[in-house]
Amino acid sequence: MRKRNKFKHGVYLLVALAMLVYAMPRLSLANGPSWVFGFGVVWSIFAFLVIAAHLHFIIGVDEEKAKRLEAVRKHKLEQWPGKWSEEGRVTQR
């Protein structure tokens, strides 16, 4: 499951990079302050944020943090005063 998820993010990263490479020469960023210039800057920033988010996931910066959070969640579930049923409801012992 984890490999498929990384593959999906890799495909999205490539699509975002291709979109950025295609659009950068067409964006008018040299005309100075105008609505067209503002759109080009905002669009470029958004594209870089999308690329950075996918890189962040692919590199796995938060994997250790996710493992620690899962351990805390399991520990809290063990300490819960009821027992979790299979439907997701709490039943008393």
Q: What tens digit of pLDDT does each residue of 49-62 get?
A: 999 999 988 887 67
CB-side neighbour CA atoms (13 Å) of 69: 5
Q: 83: which DSSP letter?
A: E
3-state secondary structure (DSSP) of residue 19: helix
Q: Any idea which residue has 């495909």 for tokens?
A: 11
Q: What is the mean pLDDT of the chain?
A: 81
**In Å, what is the CA distance from 25 to each residue of 7, 13, 33, 44, 81?**
28, 19, 18, 11, 61
Q: Tell me, what DSSP letter sits at residue 26? A: G
Chain-centroid distance of CA 71 in Å reads 22
Q: What's the whole-model pTM score?
A: 0.60
